[in-house]
Amino acid sequence: METAMIEWTWVALRPSIAMELVADFRAGIDMGARQFRGDPKLENERRSSRDMYQKRLLFEPDDIDRAVIAELQLDPRQSDNEIARKLGVSPNTVHRRFQLMLDQKAVSLQAIPNVYALGYDVWVVLAMNAYAGKVDPAALALGSLPNIQHVIITTGRFDIFAWAVFRGLDDLLCFVNSELGRIPQIRDIESMISLRLAKSSWQFLTNNVKPLAAVAKRDLDPSDLALIREVEVEPRETITNLAAKLRMSRPSVRKRLESLLQDGSLRIELVANPVMFGFPTRAMMLIKTSPGEVINVANSMASHERVLHVIVCAGQYDIIAHGVFHDAWEMSQYVRNNLGNLRGVVRHETLMILGERKLRFSLVSAVL
């Protein structure tokens, strides 16, 4: 009876995502009954997921929220005072609104170091299947590994996708053989090495896509790495505080940070949660192309505002893409009328994203 009451409340509040929420909530109840009992870590994860579903019903972004997001997506390090001056509101309003969005998990700030600048030459997509009833434990175990930056759970051919970085193929082999071998819930793995990142954007609200920077060939010294580490912890930390923590002068910190941001060694992104902003339908798209067409197809997909990430890779598929949509109908329209009509697409599969278990790019503080 309690579940039914919650379902009807959700339908009344947010019709566009009610069915997804009901399915997620039922799945959470089922998993809690079957596999979470007795495991504190998994129980906490279940509660966290449930809390997120309930909070997103209460969070309705208004024009000020969206304006704050737009400003932070243009320049995530600008101060509350600067944003307030541009929007004609008080700095306290900006601070309060942004903090609420952080607390509600509507947005997060990510400092994203360029993996190639740090000497990580192998970026791989791991597509995995887990044993029946073991998807969540497998995904959580994957999320605890420092080389893995992103973990999602999907429907379809694969249960789990994970993005990981390595210094070389030997490290990848060791990881698959040793680290993944210690996760008993994983049944099989397929590795697809990234050859090119055609698009990487989190700005689906403004579609203000920043071009991917070509990283200048330079050695990052210990001071650069220390600065990146601090910015990973707090992307909007002031120059004054960074200088105090690093025991460096403010001009030196400012110059180093500007250099890292300008040459693409580091970028800072405001990542909005699609579900909280009216894009509850998320999908992974796996594409096989005809010979000689992979770049054209990747570029065509990258030009669409609903497609956020496009990876050209080696393996069973030539392209892996991630898109967000208002609903299943909009996704269906894109898959049938856009993707399906692209010249060079031989076949494609769409896998619905059910959940996210990790999204963290703090490579320096996690690994180095």
pLDDT digits (tens, 9 = 90+) for 28-57: 444 444 444 556 655 665 555 555 544 544
Please name which of 331, 363, 120 lies closest in space to residue 233, comparing C-alpha atoms: 363
Let me know how long the chain is: 368
Q: Which residues of 147-158 are buried (b: 16+ CB within 10 A; e: fewer)?
A: bbbbbbbbeeeb
pLDDT tens string 62-77: 999 999 999 999 899 9
Helix, strand or coil, per DSSP, at residue 46: helix
Between CA 329 and CA 332 the distance in angstroms is 5
pLDDT tens string 265-308: 999 999 999 988 889 999 999 999 999 999 999 999 999 999 99
Please name which of 126, 149, 152 lies closest in space to residue 139, comparing C-alpha atoms: 152
Q: Which residues of 237-247 are buried (b: 16+ CB within 10 A; e: fewer)?
A: beeeebbebbe
**Sequence ranges of the domains in the chain:** 2-58, 122-206+273-366
pLDDT band at 318 (very low <50, low <70, confident <90, very high): very high
Q: Which single residue is written with the structure tokens 């700005």?
A: 203
User: In the CATH hierarchy, which fold is given to the domain comprising 122-206+273-366?
Assistant: Alpha-Beta Plaits (3.30.70)
Between CA 322 and CA 298 the distance in angstroms is 12
Both structure tokens of 228: 């990146």
pTM: 0.80
Both structure tokens of 224: 């650069």
**So what's the pLDDT on residue 289?**
98
pLDDT mean across residues, the chain: 85
Between CA 205 and CA 310 the distance in angstroms is 18
**So what's the pLDDT on residue 145?**
96
